[in-house]
Structure 1
């Protein structure tokens, strides 16, 4: 187990470094940061002075190594637009994004697990087709369009929920539904397929032959083994929710990391953009590593392989 964890940890570090390098190069190719700092209409002499002051005239590999070294020490630079250090600004917004991500994941599991179990138990019935239809709609419906529908129904028509902001738990209801419903179909299909496979296993037939109640057979024996792959998918989907919340946070004006990323892109705030990409990539890698370790602990066959 220890050797498996070390192997996965080394791979995770390499992935994080590769992502940080790619993000750094892509952001540099998107525009000249010296021009963004100087502003439109600045003289060429001023731009060259800024380029020399911040070291933008050095080769890109040297700039990347310098930025990576400072990032490891916790120095992510200063925001060009907000005129404050990037790290405190980002970590202040991260709490809202983490809360939204966990709420959306909980909502997705709350609707996908029951639907997946029902679809597996009543396979090829009208209930199975109804559950699959719910999954198809959730996968095909863009979350920004679904978010606008929620606003039209629950905010404009019924006036039950606030349109924007993050002051109370009511402000998170529609963003949670809009973000969580988009990832729920993947869980539902995985649980359905796992339950169908497990329900045909020999130990399930043995449990039924012993006369155990159907609820114990399904929830204690079948579902317990069918949800093992969900652990890995949940970690991956949580990383996707954190990184993909930009649109939803922008629509509902949530004061989170996604909305900050939208602002930094709009104002070409390179230090903030780089830090957000690095932070989200590290979180995604850590979640994937945690899911691999959890799966290896739950299923010994993984670490043996």
Structure 2
């Protein structure tokens, strides 16, 4: 188990280094940062002054290692537009995004796994068809359109929930439903496929032949093995939710990391963009590593791969 964890950790570190290089390089390849910071009306002398002030006149490798060293100490510099420390801005916005992503993932798991199990048990029945229809609609429906529809029904028409903001738990209900419904179909289909494969295996037939109850066969023997790939998918989906929450946060005017990233991109605020991309990528890598470890604990055969 230890060897497996160390191997996966080495892979995660390699991916993290690659992400840091790409996130640093992309912004510099997008054009002359000094000109973008100074603005189109700046003189050549002003552009050169900004280039020296921000260290953009140094070799690219020197800039990268300086930036990476500061990032390891959570020092991402000062925002060009907001004129504040980047880490303070991220620390203020991060709880909102994580609360939204965690709520959406919990909702998706609570709905998707039971629905996938029922669809597998009652295969080719109306319940199976309804579950598959829900999955198809969820994958085809744009999340922003679904979010606006929820606002129209539950906020504008019924007046049950607030339209926008992030002041109370009520503000997170509709965004969590909109974001969670987007992740639910893949988890439901994977649970259904896993259950169908496990229920047709030899050890399940043996358990049934021993006279075990249907509930014990399904929940104690079948579901444990069928849910293994869902664990990895849940970690990946949470990473997608953290990175892709900009759409939902914009629809519901939630001041999270997604909204911060959008504001920074629209205003060429490069230190904020770099920091948000790097932090979300690191969480994504960490969640994937954690999913690998949990899968190895649930299925010892994975440790030998």
Q: TM-score range by the shorter chain?
A: over 0.9
> Aligned equivalents of 2:158 and 2:30: distance in 1?
43
Measure the CA separation in 2 of the matches of 1:6 and 1:226: 26
Cα distance in structure 2, aligned partners of 1:48 and 1:209: 80
Contact 1:163 1:171 in 2 (8 A): yes
Corresponding position of 1:231: 231
Partners of 1:32 and 1:178 lie apart in 2 by: 39
Normalising by the residue count of structure 2, what TM-score does the alignment of the two structures yield?
Answer: 0.96
Q: What are the equivalent positions in structure 2 for 1:51-62 lying under 5 Å apart? A: 51-62=51-62
In the alignment, which residue of structure 1 is the partner of 2:153?
A: 153
Q: 1:220 Cα shift?
A: 2.0
Which residue in the other structure is 2:6 paired with? Answer: 6
Measure the CA separation in 2 of the matches of 1:167 and 1:114.
32
Matched, 1:116 2:116: yes
Deviation of 1:169 after TM superposition, in Å, equals 0.5
Show CA shifts across 1:37-81 (max 9, x none): 323422221111001111112232222122112111222110111
- Deviates most, 121-130 or 234-243: 121-130
CA separation in 1, counterparts of 2:173 and 2:36?
A: 37
After superposition, where does 1:202-281 map in structure 2 within 5 Å?
202-281=202-281
State the alpha-carbon separation in 1 of the partners of residues 274 and 252 from structure 2.
Answer: 24
Matched length? 305
Aligned partner of 1:302 in structure 2 is 302
C-alpha distance in structure 1 between counterparts of 2:73 and 2:206, whole Å: 58
Question: Following TM superposition, by how much is the alpha carbon of 1:202 offset from its aligned partner in structure 2, in angstroms?
Answer: 2.2
CA-CA distance at 1:148 after TM superposition: 1.0
C-alpha contact 2:225 2:299 (8 A) present in aligned 1: no
Deviation (angstroms), 1:16: 0.7
Give the stretch that moved more between structures: 216-225 or 83-92: 216-225
CA distance in 1, matches of 2:2, 2:114: 36
Structure 1 position 105, deviation (Å): 0.5
2:79 alignment partner, SS class: coil
Question: Distance between the aligned counterparts of 1:216 and 1:304, measured in 2?
Answer: 29
Flag structure 2 segments of 5+ consecutive residues without an equivalent. Answer: none
**How far off is 1:35 after superposition?**
2.9
Q: Which residue of 2 aligns with 1:32?
A: 32
Aligned counterparts of 2:44 and 2:159: Cα–Cα separation in 1: 53
Q: Distance in 1 between matches of 2:242 and 2:77?
A: 23
Which segment drifts farther, 201-210 or 287-296? 201-210
Query: What TM-score results when the alignment is normalised by the length of structure 1?
Result: 0.96
